[in-house]
Structure 1
Amino acid sequence: MASRGTPDVVIGIDFGMTQTGVAYCTAPWNNVKRFQQWGAIVSEVANKVPSRIAYSTHTNGFKGWGFNCDFDDPDSEIQEFFKLYLDPEYRDDFDGVTNADAQRYYRDYLSLIHKHIVGFFNDRFPDFGSRAVEFIFSVPTTWRNPALIHDLEVIIRDAGFGRDGPRHMAKITLTEAEAAAVNVVADYVQRDDVICICDAGGGTTDVNILKLKSAKGQPIKLQPLSKVEGAAVGSALIDIRVQQYLEQRLMTAAHLLNASPQEVAEKMMQGRFERFKCTFGTSAANLPALVLEIPSMPAGTNYPPADIQNSRLSISQTFLQKLFDEQVDAMIRLLTEQLVSLQTVVPGERVSYLVLSGGLGSSQYVRDQIKQYFQFGAGATLSNTAGMHMLLAEDPQLAVVLGLVTDRAQELGQQTKTITHRCARVSYGVVVNRRYDPQKHHSQVPYKDPRDKKLWALNQIEWLIREGDHIDDNGVSKHVRAKLQKAQLNRPWRAQFVISTEKRDNLPSDLTSQSVKTLCIVEADLRFIDRIAKNAHWWQLGQKYELAEFDLKLVAGSADLRFQLFNNGRLITGENESVAVDWGSGAPVMDQKEYFDIK
């Protein structure tokens, strides 16, 4: 997105599976503030607002959002826990919402968040609409495909962000793991300490290992030691399993209920269960079972087939512990994978601190189990965890949104980025033609180009960024040689970019592999690029064409990609000029003859 100058206000939004947090900062960029005005009454404050929206079952219009969703209203259909389904590739066993529905709920929910936030700032900042305002968002580490990030940014703008004034903008800037790391390091660590951040929230858990390269009092400078990783692990998955368990038991007593088992189970999840879950593992929750009242069931009702006693259902401590252990085990697997990878990539480094953040990360039970594993269990055998201390982030549930804004505030106030570079999480390539080599391309039929009479192997991949590569803001460049017919000069030149999650040493060389997906088609106008006429003389028998040579640059951010073209060092098209990008499955199919070769 084009730059609109230095902002007056930066507002960060962390949309979570269960709750959404907001923080903001203004010049001189040294005081990040929590947004806490989520109620209609100014004196009512809360650090976060529930990520839920209520629709009318009759009109499908909005009935409420956040704290104002009424679970007792028979006309309300409440949608929550839909974040993970924004990724079209996400699959689980919970029979969740469709990707299209998740996008609709996300758009509608964000539009209400936007209206609320903008109303707050309009009342407190004169001429807020004419000020330069940046709305910045974080995304889970599990969302690796830039096409998904592009789609989400479209939804964010459709919800109203970046559209309230000519100098308003909205963009996704950091992964949740990166943002949490920025927030955490300012509180605990010293220069050259290695920290492993585990941000475990409602729907995802992200792990990031970094080294602090700045001293106390200096701008934060973090050096990533491995690529960030994430998994669908979180407290909301415990909620979903418990609700399914309650529904199954209530099904046998459906004739005793005044609503569907699903609706009754949803109501039972409020209040007492949420408090019990948050204190699980402490003395306050040291009970043999959690007993929940069944809403609207007459007092004294007993129904043995569903194990209902005195209008109540009980959930055993053993069952709840099993659900917690499933999430803890998944967290430990993710942490162990990252620590083992660190041993391979940087053998001499030892982790100084393991810092937990997020709602699930703040659970006493989760912290105790992870500490036990890395101090006395199999995790203690890892060479890079000797002497590792475990800490809880000072503000665990706001670590992501505070770090998100802190990152941008430091860049604005001290002209220094917090993260020195990034480790590529996936591999990005561009489809090219290569000179045919019988040994390398023995399984392919060569194509004889009538323009230069040479044999070419089509559908080859030039990998620009490989998984694990260190990438910085300067991007990666390749020199391109494109043959252009006269007719092609009247339409955009096109390049097909691909993505793969294969290991860097196992990347395919051509498009025949199932592990390669088309990421996007980039189109650019080459009419103003220097070109050389080929086969222009009467004695040259080949087809006439023009050879254009230029540099193609790929700039990879935390979650997004940008494309730029340079001719003799001059930017000819990029984020500040007209470059068209068709993303993902909507990208047009290219003719093999359109591909080019790379020096």
Structure 2
Amino acid sequence: MPSSTKVDLIVGIDFGMTCSGVAYARPKMKSPKLIQEWPGTARPGELNNKVPSLLLYGRDNSVKSWGFGCQTSQKKKEWFKRYLDERVFIEGLARSQQQNPDEDPPYATIQEVRKCYEDYMTCLYNHISDKIQKDESWESKRVEFIFSLPTTFTTPQITNSLRPLLTNAGFGTGGRRHSVAFGLTEPQASAVYTAVDQTTEFEDGDIMLVCDAGGGTTDLAILQKEGDDDDGTQLKELLPVAGYNFGSTNIDESFCALVEQRLQGAEGLELKENTAWTMMHSAEFQSWKRVFGTLDEKQFKEFPVKVPALKIKVSNEKAGITLGSMMFSHDDFKKLFDVEVDKMIKYIKNQMNIMSGKCPNKKIDYLVLSGGLGSSAYVQKRLKEAFTGYNAHAVAPSLKVIAAENDEPQLAVVKGLVWDQMQRQKTGKAVLKERIARASYGVVCDVPYDKKKDIGHTPVEDPIDGKQMLKGHIVWVIKKDHPISVDDAKMHEFTRVFPRGHSRKWKSSIVICHNDPYDLPNNTRNGKNWNPDVKELAEVESDLSAVSHKKFVEHQGKRSFFRKGEPYYEARYDVKFVIGAAADARFELWFQGQQWTSPNAIKIDWQEGANVPAHPAEASPKKFFSTGRSRRKYEWGTDDDD
């Protein structure tokens, strides 16, 4: 989460699958301001709230144009946000090779995807810099760049792989006091915007289910308003956020497949290569997609979409082409939309089912829609039919379905990012004060061995005091489904001993578990084997080499490991867990009540495969059974003498 340090400029960036938005605020501004002027638009001075997430490379592999400047090019790079998650990239590559073995995939390697991201962010940063510094330099200012995250980013490796790319793009480098942070998830940011800058007046205790449906992902969050006071609006999560990999680009791909199917059955047509792809990107189709649902079926006749390079006099009944345009009925578009809307309804119902089990005495008051797909009139109509009146869910008997912003639901995320930090600057309190942990995070340590309770485990003799110790014990610092306050970070205290002249670097293992909090294992091992429910998240190295030995507690060497009378030292320090939005996580080293910020004070080696679930399983009855014993922590840990 961004810090509460007073800043001169807050810049929020919502990087989307199809379009990206930028909003900013200075201390005296009453609300966030959008960047609306973008290069490459059709008319000079044209205003657009977002810029397309597109790139076009030249022959030398350098960026030729971006955003609006390459919308019509068939060689443009698009939808690369989807593949920033390496797991999704690998699955997509395998699927592409299986379905189209003779065609090159859109991206051959994860490095190519990351290059697109870095290059796009470079273009975006340069434009933001030019616009905001038009009247005043920001070099000496304290500037915070805050990025939203989709909930489908399921591993810390994703956010940690993006940080150096953002730095290379320029973010955080324009001044000594510039910084970069990942802020809220997309549905959290939408909820913040809805609660703070919205015509609907929410009352204290109102509960909203936010559905942020964009180009490539659909994210869900359930939050409750805590009331307005001198600290501003306050929200708290009731369930962990959930994310799914579907959105409006699936409608585009289904339309493309429909066009290809029609053209395959037609003969005698002189067509350009990639006709279906070109029609999918055409202004006509995208315009029809946006307005679908604003007219009912009786008012609606047919949607014409021009077939590129086809003469206006050409018609083909088998392909559904009349006078050079392919015609689509209301039912054609309905089928394209319904596949995605049915998924939305399914997953919203699942969140409601989970809510009824975990918070049986609470009722959802609002279903808030944001994002490009969420702004669709047809989507809003279907969801009202599915969740109001006779179809109302037991946990939402009087549900009201609203858009996050009546004219532009797509802007809720980027504005919410900035609003959250604006309130924190003004009051010291974030809008989203409490989140729900999506997984349990623990520290691996040693505890005294108990032969009656530790059956199946082999003790190890401590080299310093000769005590029998059980290795691999887990202290769960953060537990799944438990609230995390943004202002009260969780800490774990480490106690290490070392003789004079020895290393003051220690490695500690951080693990993650997705079991329910009543079913958490207390050891990394199940007998002789590694416990499959426990995944290594990171290895954290704490380095206090720069601390004078005088600041540590000195003891006289009474242990056989040392020569008689030789002193040894005891170091006590804390590692703070900062579990951010989606799967973003970082750790801070604290010594004697202050954050230790010397270079390389804390190093993190992220482990592969430690995913945070993007969404919950289907709602099911609870199971209750013993969790094992509670153990007193007794930590010596492992020294790192390298």
Under a length normalisation based on structure 1, what TM-score does the superposition of the two structures give?
0.87
Aligned to 1:416: 429
Matched to 1:519, the amino acid is L
Shift in Å, 1:424: 0.7
The 5 A counterparts of 1:14-413 are 14-39=14-39, 43-56=45-58, 58-71=59-72, 73=73, 77-90=75-88, 91=91, 95=96, 97=107, 98-123=109-134, 125-186=135-196, 187=198, 188=200, 189-215=202-228, 219-247=232-260, 250=263, 259-261=272-274, 265-283=277-295, 287=300, 290-300=303-313, 311-315=324-328, 317-376=330-389, 380-382=392-394, 384-394=395-405, 395-413=408-426
Does the 8 Å CA contact 2:294/2:378 hold for their aligned counterparts?
yes
Aligned to 2:496: 482
Shift in Å, 1:370: 1.1
**Deviations for 1:114-166, whole angstroms, at most 9, x for unmatched residues?**
1111111222x322333222211111122243332222222211111111122
Secondary structure of the structure 2 residue equivalent to 1:212:
strand
Secondary structure of the structure 2 residue equivalent to 1:433:
strand
Shift in Å, 1:372: 0.9
Going by fraction, where is helix more abundant, 1 or 2? 1
The 5 A counterparts of 1:460-539 are 460-472=473-485, 473-484=487-498, 489-490=502-503, 492-508=505-521, 509-510=523-524, 512-527=530-545, 528=547, 530-531=552-553, 536=558
Does the 8 Å CA contact 1:190/1:216 hold for their aligned counterparts?
no
CA RMSD of aligned residues (A): 3.5
CA distance in 1 between counterparts of 2:558 and 2:341 reads: 69
Unaligned runs of 5+ in 1: none
> Is the deviation greater in 82-91 or in 12-21?
82-91
CA distance in 1 between counterparts of 2:561 and 2:312 reads: 101
**Deviations for 1:536-572, whole angstroms, at most 9, x for unmatched residues?**
45698999976544433323233433323445x4236
Does the 8 Å CA contact 1:228/1:425 hold for their aligned counterparts?
yes
Aligned to 1:551: 574
CA distance in 1 between counterparts of 2:563 and 2:219 reads: 60
CA distance in 1 between counterparts of 2:560 and 2:149 reads: 59
Matched to 1:273, the amino acid is F
Shift in Å, 1:191: 2.1
Aligned to 1:564: 588
**Deviations for 1:211-267, whole angstroms, at most 9, x for unmatched residues?**
212238971111222222221121112112322443455567799666533x65235
CA distance in 2 between counterparts of 1:48 and 1:390 reads: 25
Matched to 1:236, the amino acid is T
Does the 8 Å CA contact 2:218/2:243 hold for their aligned counterparts?
yes
Matched to 2:542, the amino acid is A
Does the 8 Å CA contact 1:137/1:173 hold for their aligned counterparts?
yes
Shift in Å, 1:199: 1.3
Shift in Å, 1:436: 3.6
Shift in Å, 1:303: 7.0
Shift in Å, 1:22: 0.9
Does the 8 Å CA contact 1:153/1:172 hold for their aligned counterparts?
no
Does the 8 Å CA contact 1:29/1:409 hold for their aligned counterparts?
no
CA distance in 1 between counterparts of 2:384 and 2:480 reads: 31
Secondary structure of the structure 2 residue equivalent to 1:524:
strand
Does the 8 Å CA contact 1:564/1:575 hold for their aligned counterparts?
no
Distance 1:106 1:546, change over 3 A: same
Shift in Å, 1:12: 0.9
**Deviations for 1:412-433, whole angstroms, at most 9, x for unmatched residues?**
1233221222111122122223
CA distance in 2 between counterparts of 1:283 and 1:136 reads: 39
CA distance in 2 between counterparts of 1:288 and 1:541 reads: 94
Does the 8 Å CA contact 1:254/1:260 hold for their aligned counterparts?
no
Shift in Å, 1:78: 0.8
> Is the deviation greater in 308-317 or in 10-19?
308-317
Does the 8 Å CA contact 2:151/2:186 hold for their aligned counterparts?
yes
Shift in Å, 1:343: 2.0
Shift in Å, 1:24: 1.0
Matched to 2:195, the amino acid is V
Shift in Å, 1:390: 1.1
CA distance in 2 between counterparts of 1:307 and 1:145 reads: 46
> Is the deviation greater in 270-279 or in 550-559?
550-559
Shift in Å, 1:493: 0.9
CA distance in 1 between counterparts of 2:316 and 2:279 reads: 20
Secondary structure of the structure 2 residue equivalent to 1:77:
coil
Distance 1:66 1:257, change over 3 A: farther
Secondary structure of the structure 2 residue equivalent to 1:283:
coil
The 5 A counterparts of 1:411-450 are 411-437=424-450, 441-450=454-463
Unaligned runs of 5+ in 2: 97-105, 611-634
CA distance in 2 between counterparts of 1:339 and 1:264 reads: 39
Distance 1:362 1:153, change over 3 A: same
Matched to 1:563, the amino acid is F
> Is the deviation greater in 397-406 or in 234-243?
234-243
**Deviations for 1:515-550, whole angstroms, at most 9, x for unmatched residues?**
433322211124546355586456989999765444
Under a length normalisation based on structure 2, what TM-score does the superposition of the two structures give?
0.81
